[in-house]
């Protein structure tokens, strides 16, 4: 049975999601095709169809603690198969954005920190700089040793660039970050 704690975030999340991604959830009739096809549902407590149902019923900020939000790999199978054309993957993006805005931590792993580290290098160099990103991410997680055994081979094979990328139009990219929420993420 689904228990809904109403009004933890005002009128529920449904409206905030509509505003963020334009998706109308009201046409969902719980066929559960999104959950059947979901690549990560075998690893999560919450499934996409349950998220949709909870939103429907007026769930509040407690839904932002769902483990699905930060396990979802944005593969888009849910959106591709929804018979009502609901962009479920866009709803996941919106839930992630709301979780970040409200400071709700990810229950496992640290995707928000990774995304910040990734975008920081893009903001600075105009392109991704993997070594810089990995360093920032590892410092943030404190797990300095994860994957380090792979780095010497990757460097030798030229799969990691030592120096930051050059030649990108950084002016435009910096302006875009300043104008959008990317700069505040």
Q: Name the minimum Å distance from CB 75 to another protein.
A: 4
Q: How far apart are CA 23 and CA 33, in angstroms?
A: 17
Q: How far apart are CA 110 and CA 49, in angstroms?
A: 24
Q: Name the minimum Å distance from CB 27 to another protein.
A: 16
**Which residue is listed with tokens 């792993």?**
109
- Token pair belonging to 125: 């160099």
DSSP three-state, residue 23: coil
Q: Name the minimum Å distance from CB 96 to another protein.
A: 5
**Residue placing its CB nearer to another protein in the complex, 57 or 176:** 176
From 125, 71, 90, 73, select the one nearest 18 (Cα to Cα). 90
**Residue placing its CB nearer to another protein in the complex, 8 or 93:** 93
Q: Name the minimum Å distance from CB 152 to another protein.
A: 12
Per CB under 8 A, contacts with another protein among 101-160 are: 108-111, 113-115, 118-119, 122, 126-128, 130, 134, 137, 146-147, 150, 153-154, 157-160
- Token pair belonging to 160: 């990691």
**Residue placing its CB nearer to another protein in the complex, 57 or 105:** 105
Look up residue 6 and give its DSSP letter.
B
Size (the chain), residues: 185
Q: How far apart are CA 137 and CA 15, in angstroms?
A: 33
From 30, 46, 40, 43, select the one nearest 86 (Cα to Cα). 30
**Residue placing its CB nearer to another protein in the complex, 4 or 119:** 119
* Site residues, another protein (CB under 8 A): 20-22, 39-40, 42-43, 70-71, 73-77, 79-80, 87, 89, 93, 96-97, 100, 108-111, 113-115, 118-119, 122, 126-128, 130, 134, 137, 146-147, 150, 153-154, 157-161, 165, 167-170, 172-173, 175-177, 179-182, 185
């Amino acid at each position: 049975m689904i228990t809904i704690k109403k009004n933890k975030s005002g009128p529920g999340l449904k409206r905030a999601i509509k505003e963020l991604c334009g998706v109308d959830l009201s046409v969902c009739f719980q066929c559960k095709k999104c959950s059947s096809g979901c690549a990560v549902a075998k690893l999560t407590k919450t499934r996409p169809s349950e998220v949709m149902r909870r939103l429907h019923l007026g769930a509040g900020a407690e839904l932002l603690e769902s483990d699905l939000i930060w396990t979802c790999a944005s593969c888009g199978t849910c959106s591709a198969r929804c018979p009502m054309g609901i962009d479920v993957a866009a709803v996941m993006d919106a839930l992630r954005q709301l979780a970040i805005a409200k400071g709700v931590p990810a229950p496992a792993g640290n995707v928000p920190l990774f995304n910040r580290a990734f975008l920081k290098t893009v903001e600075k160099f105009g392109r991704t700089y993997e070594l810089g990103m990995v360093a920032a991410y590892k410092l943030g997680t404190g797990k300095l040793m994860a994957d380090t055994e792979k780095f010497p081979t990757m460097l030798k094979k030229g799969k990691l660039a030592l120096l930051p990328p050059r030649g990108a139009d950084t002016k435009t990219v910096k302006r875009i970050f300043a104008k959008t929420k990317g700069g505040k993420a």
